[in-house]
């Protein structure tokens, strides 16, 4: 697809240089409408060439990644497994001070949130004395 357009990098550089020359001419003759039209056309062509170059580079990087692949996949997968294992909650202490594990831990969570979300609590907009200790 993009090979039909020739050397995209050279095209972007050439159009950029041409656009710089146009801007210098417009600065010298700001009232020339034909020059402003040519500048607008040159800017449009330059922006399109930049888009084409970016698409080409994205396409090229995808082809490279598909050919080479990700050599660190196993390492990162094992790293994330270890991180997830370390982040697990193995036990909790309920409000009474009893350490809960396994199914008891799950039931303790459920009862806590049933009380917290299902109960009727008063809400105060002023902070309590024990808020900051």
Per-residue pLDDT reduced to its tens digit, 36-81: 999 999 999 999 999 999 998 888 888 776 666 666 778 888 888 9
- Tell me 127's DSSP state: P
Between the CA atoms of 100, 103, 108 and 111, what dihedral angle is there, to the nearest 10 degrees?
A: -170
Kindly report the backbone phi and psi dihedral angles of residue 4, in degrees, each rounded to the nearest multiple of 5, phi listed first: -65, -25
Of 21, 19, 8, nearest to 50 by C-alpha is 8
Residues 20-43 have pLDDT tens digits of 999 999 999 989 999 999 999 999
Measured in Å, how far apart are the chain's first and last C-alpha atoms?
Answer: 67
Q: Quote the crossing angle between the two packed helices 8-28 and 33-68, to the nearest 10°.
A: 160
pTM of the model: 0.47
The 3-state DSSP composition of the chain as helix, strand, coil percent (nearest 5) reads 70, 5, 25
């Amino acid at each position: 697809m993009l090979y039909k357009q020739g050397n995209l990098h050279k095209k972007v550089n050439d159009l950029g240089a041409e656009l710089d020359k146009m801007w210098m001419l417009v600065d010298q003759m700001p009232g020339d409408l034909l020059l402003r039209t040519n500048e607008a056309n040159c800017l449009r062509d330059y922006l399109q060439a930049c888009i084409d170059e970016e698409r080409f580079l994205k396409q090229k990087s995808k082809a490279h990644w598909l050919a080479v692949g990700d050599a660190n996949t196993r390492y990162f997968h094992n790293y994330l497994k270890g991180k997830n294992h370390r982040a697990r909650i193995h036990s909790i202490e309920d409000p009474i001070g009893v350490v809960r594990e396994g199914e008891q831990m799950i039931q303790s969570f459920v009862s806590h949130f049933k009380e917290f979300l299902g109960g009727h609590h008063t809400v105060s907009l002023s902070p309590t004395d024990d808020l900051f200790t």
